[in-house]
Amino acid sequence: MTWETTDHTLEKTNTAEDAPMMWFRALIMSALLMVATSALAGRSAPLTPLVVDGERYFKLQWEAGERAQRPEVHGQILNEFGYPARKVRLLVNSLDATGAVTDQTLVYMPGDLLPGSRYYFETRVPAPAASYRVVVFQYEWIQAGGGDNRR
């Protein structure tokens, strides 16, 4: 960078020597932005069920287990309501000894959950936990009649 004087003013002109410095500054700013973004993305907010009263319509039973030396949670869900449900997802909360959530896993239930039927589920969890809590995360009722029944 050189400075030139014209008409009693000082003007800055870029030279070939300035290009590496500008690249270096851009690289440093990019690195700082990536580090800041990674730090913010590291801790996300815990998931909460998208529906209320899931326990009113569905009965859940589960237990912890292990398959191929990896921790898992498996159990059953029973639809106790008079309508079939679809797009059922369960939320498995891994808990520490104090009951605080340490990790979360979503379980997708394939197909429709008919009234009075039980469906088996199982999912791997990231790490063993002191205990687990399974809740209904999301569902959608299927109501027949009165129009287009396409899915």
> Can you give the C-alpha Rg of the chain in angstroms?
28
pTM: 0.67
Per-residue model confidence (pLDDT) at position 48: 87
Greater confidence (74 vs 41) lies with 74
**Residues 41-73: pLDDT tens digits?**
555 788 888 888 889 999 999 999 999 999 999
The arithmetic mean of pLDDT across residues 5-20, rounded, is 61
Per-residue model confidence (pLDDT) at position 74: 97
Contact 109, 55 (CB under 8 A): no
Rounded to whole angstroms, the Cα distance separating 143 from 136 reads 19
Rounded to whole angstroms, the Cα distance separating 150 from 39 reads 44
Q: Label the pairing between strands 70-79 and 118-124.
A: antiparallel
Per-residue model confidence (pLDDT) at position 26: 66
**Residues 107-146: pLDDT tens digits?**
999 999 999 999 999 999 999 999 999 999 999 999 876 5
* Domains of the chain by start residue, with CATH: 2-41 (no CATH), 54-141 (2.60.40.1620)
Per-residue model confidence (pLDDT) at position 143: 85
To which H or E segment does residue 29 belong?
Answer: helix 18-41
Rounded to whole angstroms, the Cα distance separating 69 from 113 reads 31
Quickly state the pLDDT bin for 1 (edges 50, 70, 90). low
- Look over the chain and give the mean of its residue pLDDT values, rounded to a whole number: 82
Instruction: Answer yes or no: is pLDDT of 30 > 90.
Output: no
Per-residue model confidence (pLDDT) at position 67: 92
